[in-house]
Amino acid sequence: MSSSLGLAQRYDDYAVHRLLHDVPPHETYEVTVDGRRAVCKVATAPRGDPATEAHVMAFVGRKTTVPVPTVLAVGDGYFVAEWCPDAPQAATVNEEKARAMGAGLASLHRESADAIDAYGRFERDDAPPTRRYGDSAGSGRDDPTVVKRADWRSVALDRLADRRPYLQSVGHAAVADAVVGYLRAHPDAFDGAGDPVLCHGNYLPDHISVDGEAVTCVIDFEHALCGPAEYDCWRTLLPLSRNESGGEADAFREGYGSVRALPDGFDRRRDLYSVLLTVSYLKSLYLQDRHDAGRTRRLAERMREHVFDSLDALERS
């Protein structure tokens, strides 16, 4: 079992109990370390980077009031964090949860803003295999390092370039190329988006626990980056908007607005974020391989049409 390899480097007393989550390029296990119940997240492919995720999560724990699991150890291709009994269990959401999620995300953005001074992705951390979290040994830092870019458009172009090789391998490079072409032709596309904050990057119901009006646990920071708050909001709102009732998306916006205002032009840039995010969704569709070939092909074609139709509409607007 892959998680035991990292634990053996760190602990004399450990046990691996069960697989909790398996989505490439990571696996997450329930474990016991030194008699303490915990979780261990491990990379299953070179693109996996649990060490950087651990640094981001610990940074959130230090700099904000957002409740996150305490990181116990970071190693080469894995991290260990405390067990949270109220960790998210399901992807279900209602208006009450959506409203709490909105307020929680706004708190993350508001409280991280002063600590984030540039747009960019977090640099990969090659954690040494023998580091307890917070030790002076090892990488010599606890805060994640940002690969700074001049503006949000540059970060978006970097992300599209990162996804293109995989999309090319499945026959959909043209989708990424189309979005790149639009952004290069419209350098002002993201004007007014706002200053950078720490964006969770995947703030969805199955990664958030709530109790009444309060968020009690936030997990899965592997997609975190430094970007405008509206990117993070649309990453949540676009999936919520697909719910039949539509009330969850409105409740999320109400919750967010109770803590922090959305920028001017937020709704005007919806389609732009939709095409940007759809490129990532298209990659995930093939990478996670959850459907038979026919359904995957149909979903991919639907995503492709959405991107090209939306870009045409943006050009006409």
Longest dimension (CA), the chain: 63
* CB burial string 11-35: b at 16+ within 10 A, e below: beebebeeeeeeeeebbbbbbbbee
Domain match, 158 and 293 both: yes
41 part of a folded domain: yes
Structure confidence at residue 136 as a pLDDT band (50, 70, 90): very low
| Residue 140 confidence (pLDDT) above 50 | no
Helix (H) or strand (E) holding 246: none
What pLDDT does residue 75 have?
Answer: 87
CATH number, domain with residue 30: 3.30.200.20
3 state SS of 315? helix
89 part of a folded domain: no
Smallest CA-to-CA distance from 85 within 154, 130, 47, 37 is with 37
281 part of a folded domain: yes
116 part of a folded domain: yes
Structure confidence at residue 127 as a pLDDT band (50, 70, 90): low
What pLDDT does residue 260 have?
Answer: 97
Give me the residue label for tokens 């172009």: 157
Q: Are 131 and 89 in contact (CB under 8 A)?
A: no
Number of domain units in the chain: 2
* CB burial string 40-69: b at 16+ within 10 A, e below: bbbbeeeebbbbbbbbbbbbbbebbebbbb
**According to the per-residue pLDDT averaged within each range, which of 44-53, 121-130, 240-249 is highest?**
44-53
Give me the residue label for tokens 């870019």: 149
Domain extent at residue 172: 95-120+147-316
CATH number, domain with residue 245: 3.90.1200.10
Domain match, 77 and 105 both: no
Domain match, 35 and 169 both: no
pLDDT tens track for 213-249 = 999 999 999 999 999 999 999 999 999 998 767 799 9
140 part of a folded domain: no
What pLDDT does residue 295 have?
Answer: 96
Domain match, 99 and 60 both: no
Q: Are 227 and 199 in contact (CB under 8 A)?
A: yes
171 part of a folded domain: yes
What pLDDT does residue 34 have?
Answer: 94
136 part of a folded domain: no
| Residue 138 confidence (pLDDT) above 80 | no
Mean pLDDT of the chain: 92
127 part of a folded domain: no
